[in-house]
Amino acid sequence: MPITPANGRTTDNARPSAPGAEAGSTEPIMLELVDEDGVTIGTAEKLSAHLAPGRLHRAFSVFLFDDDGRLLLQRRALGKYHSPGVWSNTCCGHPYPGELPFVAAARRTAEELGVAPALLREAGTVRYNHPDPASGLVEQEYNHLFAGLVRGKPEPDPEEIGEIAFVSPEELAGLLEGNPFSAWFLTVLDAARPAIREITGSAAGW
């Protein structure tokens, strides 16, 4: 299970000036607030939506696999204000208001990992409430799940990602025993498993 550190590639974006701000801008990031059925009911600034007890908002999670059926994991950069330094799924985030979740998932995967999925398909939705004990922030999310394949070489943005690793189910089990993972990781992985198994095949073991 080789673990690859972020390569230090440079980007045209400056570091955000404050939590919840866009890279290179002082403008806050806005999220879509939704009801329990996933219907948009308004917007909120990103950080405020995560303050306890949290406000239900739209999110997405991506699971990409190589041709050997190994899952691409990322360890979130230590500089992130929310869940820094923990392992998580390939990519996750929030659509901009009015942005389709599929478009947001593909966009953010390219921004964080420097690679486009060779295949990306919907894998359902899941609603959850996960407090982050380290930061005190709360994930109240209606999460759109996506699974697919990656064949290009990832070039992770070091401001977003500290390390990446391709893991088999057995290697993932080992990582889970000795390393911190995001509070939402197992919830979204379990919800996406039916689509993951269709993509990777039974031999991959997911």
Tell me the C-alpha distance between 146 and 86, whole Å: 21
Structure tokens at 111: 């921004």
- Do the bridges between strand 138-149 and strand 57-65 make them parallel or antiparallel, or are there none, so unpaired? parallel
How far, in Å, CA of 137 to CA of 63, rounded? 24
d(CA 108, CA 114): 9
Q: Identity (one letter) of the amino acid at 73? A: L
Cite the active site residues: 92, 141
